Structure 1
């Protein structure tokens, strides 16, 4: 009974209030130039983020991954993380404008030809503004698909889905996402994904010296279908300016016949992401 009442209150009161506040903020940010929207949200999150309960978890994770750093260095990294997250939010509503401007440059665009007519994967991590990681594929005119997690609040989800319209297809996380990945490769299209997310399931592999549950389904599919994997790293060069570094994943040193091939390849990818961080 209590859970039912709580659910009704959330849907009837909390969600509408959240939606009003969110759309008000979104409308305000859309009125600003991209650089201003980015700076405003970065500044706000740099102040508010460290005051939230999530800040303690962030510090714990940073200490866990980088115990060799001092406490002041941990705090500095955490604050920069909040600022960057805020900037990503501020830039979210200007993604198309940023992609069409000189605020974004691509290095290694020629590597996108490896995916043309064959399909494959573009993988990235939550670094810089990861929302821009698929831009090289979009600019190359390739059919880019992805998987997304729907927003719990249905009043807000429609606005987030608008961002996905620049892609060829977007599949909901779960069974639909798994089928979408397989369909993408079958149709010789490109599946874009960030691979540094914490999972409840997956292979336990090394990441920053600790075991972490990681996704390997894309690696198994890439091996089975013999399709390329492209790394797309977004670097914030200053304020609301970026460069995207595109490089093909080199797995020539790994034996595809080895039982540990997929695990070894995944560990190699995570070592690359560590170097990005």
Structure 2
């Protein structure tokens, strides 16, 4: 039997719940585009004043040593704008997917590599999909569910239980199966692939004890889960990314299956494969640096 929460915790959760309810209903009322603009305005205003800005600028100086401090601040400002817009879009996850393949001009979403998505849906085989914290990274999982792709998503829940529940409930309405990262998650991930489903994993954060890879010319660790699963199940691995476009629109791109490196025995080489995947993510970030989350401690070893 679980112990009741302390009254101060219950009071704090009640206050948070009331505040979030009021803000959510206001943002829902004004619609996705105005909601995104409003949150982006406040993020651009407040974000640079937080301690997170220091880590952001340090990472940008490491990644782009040839650029000026003003250019670093401009990228950081774009990052805050993107994060604010994503926050404003989060309350509209059930409305944000507007895709019409017959009339693309009327769609909020553009899709490149649609044949790859179609092939994954009809081939009856499992597949691994990696993505990164670019633009609105919630969209690939929403797209998979909207297009009938039987899928699951590995995610890391926030440490705060209140916000963890809030995020889980919002995502559960519009995404496939949600698998919380934990020391036992690997068994659930294996079950997903054994059932012939598709598994999405974010791959652009550090992992203590993980393989060392080069990212923007500097060593960092990475999470090898996707390469280990690919080696175990010999299933195709695709990269999917989101690009934010003007006017509240997005482009989702899907790569063909990635040809991952193999060792002398013909098995997928985990360390080399993670370098291949990391290099692809770096190309994505370099193309739209203002749409990536630069405040992660990516180069922590």
TM-score of the aligned structures, taking structure 1 as reference length: 0.89
- Residues 1:276 and 2:284 aligned together: yes
| Structure 1 unaligned blocks of 5 or more | 1-6
Aligned to 1:184: 192
Aligned to 1:56: 54
Report the alpha carbon displacement of residue 42 of structure 1 after superposing the two structures with TM. Answer: 0.8
Report the alpha carbon displacement of residue 164 of structure 1 after superposing the two structures with TM. Answer: 2.2
Q: Cα distance 1:29–1:140, how it changes in 2: closer, same or farther (>3 A)?
A: same
Report the alpha carbon displacement of residue 137 of structure 1 after superposing the two structures with TM. Answer: 2.4
Report the alpha carbon displacement of residue 264 of structure 1 after superposing the two structures with TM. Answer: 1.3
- Residues 1:225 and 2:230 aligned together: no
Q: Cα distance 1:58–1:103, how it changes in 2: closer, same or farther (>3 A)?
A: same
| Structure 2 unaligned blocks of 5 or more | 100-106, 286-301
Q: Which moved more, 1:257-266 or 1:180-189?
A: 257-266
Pick from 254, 260, 263 the counterpart of residue 246 of structure 1.
254
- Residues 1:112 and 2:110 aligned together: no
Report the alpha carbon displacement of residue 260 of structure 1 after superposing the two structures with TM. Answer: 7.9
Aligned to 1:235: 243
Q: For the Cα contact (< 8 Å) 1:255–1:261, is it kept in 2?
A: yes
The count of corresponding residues between Structure 1 and Structure 2 is 270
- Residues 1:25 and 2:23 aligned together: yes
Pick from 89, 92, 95 the counterpart of residue 91 of structure 1.
89
Per-residue CA distance 1:215-262 (angstroms, 9 max, x = gap): 11211211221111111110001141101011124316x335368822
Report the alpha carbon displacement of residue 200 of structure 1 after superposing the two structures with TM. Answer: 2.5
Pick from 153, 159, 172 the counterpart of residue 166 of structure 2.
159
Q: Distance in 1 between matches of 2:63 and 2:231?
A: 30
- Residues 1:170 and 2:173 aligned together: no
Q: Which structure shows the bigger proportion of residues in helix conformation? A: 1
Q: For the Cα contact (< 8 Å) 1:134–1:232, is it kept in 2?
A: no
Q: For the Cα contact (< 8 Å) 1:146–1:191, is it kept in 2?
A: yes
TM-score of the aligned structures, taking structure 2 as reference length: 0.83
Q: Cα distance 1:188–1:46, how it changes in 2: closer, same or farther (>3 A)?
A: same
